[in-house]
Chains A and B, each alone.
Chain A
Amino acid sequence: MATAAAQHTARTPAHDARGGAPDTDAHQRAFDAAIAADERIEPRDWMPDAYRATLIRQIAQHAHSEIIGMQPEANWITRAPSLRRKAILMAKVQDEAGHGLYLYSAAETLGVSRDELLDKLHSGRQKYSSIFNYPTLTWADVGAIGWLVDGAAITNQVPLCRCSYGPYARAMVRICKEESFHQRQGYELLLALSRGTPEQHAMAQDAVNRWWWPSLMMFGPPDDESEHSAQSMAWKIKRHSNDELRQRFVDICVPQAESLGLTLPDPDLKWNEERGHYDFGPIDWDEFWQVIKGNGPCNEQRMAQRRRAHDEGAWVREAAAAYAAKHTHDKEARRG
């Protein structure tokens, strides 16, 4: 979002001068100083190629996750148990589409086009969060996703509001404001089930059992195995490590689960007085890497659905273009 305009209208001498050694040194110093002073980098500022590439990769993956993330929940829109729940779920899924658009706009300020990014998603060259490769088996999954998946996303995203790249940070501010409704509606949904009939309670517990561990994996591999972490932290794209954010999330969830009257599926989960945090059991990273490699329960289904939606939407894009062309033509005719 933001000053995409500037990116598109005027190429600055800085861009043309990239590679010119004396200039680049001065630019690098100015960039380093801005990062050190906690200032934001804006689209037309000079930035190292690797910083630009890292941001494009991360923002694109984030945008893809928002739009692929519409699928598991949209699966339940037609079967929502009440009109109230249906309206809420539609609003949530629509928000996720909006989040995708804010983020594609932010990525575009870095000099890539949206079509290029969609192409890369559709051909599997760019990824989305592996959490969305799990199925939504029951209505309670909609609640578990709102509480745990959106909850984990919020924990990840709040620090991104202070990310060093201005357009990304501003997109995250909007997104975080909207996410809070997502999490609360999920929690409320689970609470209703938990306090319902024994069957409803069991359904809620089952959903939490299935979504808990994949949600913890959303924070990414452990710090010592995380490829890009150190550089991203140095660039202030990332503000906290994966393990730090994961711990923060666990600490937040344990009391919330108690209030729900549900348990978290981890026998090792217990308060550690000394650390001032909850200890938790080992995460199955094999499963994580398998899902990333494409072997999760729904990888194929999600990609097929995404490609189908894009292809079947072609006539809408064409109609919009034809309408715009006709209007321009009519206006010109009227002008004579």
Chain B
Amino acid sequence: MTTADWPLWEVFVRSRRGLSHTHAGSLHAPDAEMALRNARDLYTRRGEGVSIWVVPSAAITASSPDEKDPFFEPAADKPYRHPTFYEIPEGVKHL
């Protein structure tokens, strides 16, 4: 196995407790354990994280950019899902 075969890993970092993991970047590593160590050195050199996930890039299924419009369309014509859709008389509180 040469470096060319090393899989690509996506790195997710939780910056502090109470926040979710967010995508930080990607890296190559021969296995998950080394991907974690490399991710620590690459993405948390200044205490940017308290927890790291690494996920094989090949395991991610993504929506296609070309399907953008039809794929997300069902949400576009439903403004009544937002609180601002509703008119409430002035002066009504806690609503």
Contacts and interface: CB of A to CB of B under 8 A. Distances in A.
Contact of B58 (A9, A13, A328): A9
A327 B31 contact: yes
A44 B30 contact: no
Nearest to A118: B3
Contact of A5 (B3, B6, B8, B28): B8
Contacts of A10: 61-62, 64
Given A12-B64, A42-B65, A101-B42, A323 B30 contact: yes
A113 interface: yes
B23 interface: yes
Of residues B26, B27, B28, B33, which shows the largest number of chain A Cβ atoms within 10 Å of its Cβ?
B26
Interface in B43-62: 45-46, 57-58, 60-62
B26 A1 contact: yes
A73 interface: no
Interface size on B, as a range, is 20 to 34
Given A114-B28, A321-B2, A325-B1, A94 B45 contact: yes
A266 interface: no
Contacts, number: 90
Nearest to A174: B25
A181 to B, nearest CB: 9
A13 B66 contact: yes
B45 A98 contact: yes
A114 B3 contact: yes
Contact of B26 (A105, A317, A323, A325): A105
A113 B65 CA distance: 23
B42 to A, nearest CB: 6
Interface string A285-321: 0000000000000000000000000000000010011
Contact of A115 (B3, B8, B24): B3
Interface of B: 1-4, 6, 8, 10, 23-31, 33-34, 41-42, 45-46, 57-58, 60-62, 64-66
23 contacts: A1-B25, A4-B8, A5-B10, A6-B60, A8-B58, A9-B57, A9-B58, A9-B62, A10-B62, A44-B62, A105-B27, A108-B26, A114-B3, A115-B2, A115-B4, A178-B46, A320-B30, A321-B2, A321-B30, A323-B31, A324-B30, A324-B31, A327-B33
